[in-house]
Amino acid sequence: MKDPVKEWLPQRVTAAGVLASGLRRPNGKLAAQCADANCPPAAMENLLRQLNDARTLFATEKSSPKWVTFNYEHGQIRFVTRPDGWHFAMVVRPETDGAQQLDALSMEFLSLPIK
């Protein structure tokens, strides 16, 4: 895969109920795709920064989880961490196609052939 930001991420906001998704590269560069006007790219990029800063809270002495899911009043936020430093986040409304696809998309992200 040449560039997941251009090839993989844009397709992730097409499912019903997906508000936004974003990637953080190992170098810290961010990219966000938003499908809802109430969740602009700048908000998603800020969320990615905050989740990256907080990821050490999820780590244990044994290992870090592959992903964490936060539930809030209007939906869910999924944050996925790869060992190579890439991060993926998605915000979805509850009980939608997007919410149902969180695990599959997380696994897909973890297995992307990113160079």
CB neighbour burial string for 52-84, b if at least 16 within 10 angstroms, e if fewer: beeeeeeeeeeeeeebbbeeeeebbbbbbbeee
The model's pTM is 0.85
Task: State yes or no: pLDDT of 17 exceeds 70.
Answer: yes
First-to-last CA distance in the chain?
8
Helix (H) or strand (E) holding 99: helix 97-100
Residue 23 CB contacts under 8 Å (≥ 6 apart), including other chains: 4, 5, 9, 30, 31, 48, 86, 87, 88
| CATH assignment, 4-110 | 3.30.450.30
Nearest CA among 79, 5, 83, 13 for reference residue 47 = 79
Confidence of residue 89 (pLDDT cuts 50, 70, 90): very high
Reading the block at residue 16, the tokens are: 């019903």
pLDDT in tens, 33-74: 888 888 888 888 888 888 888 876 666 555 667 898 999 888
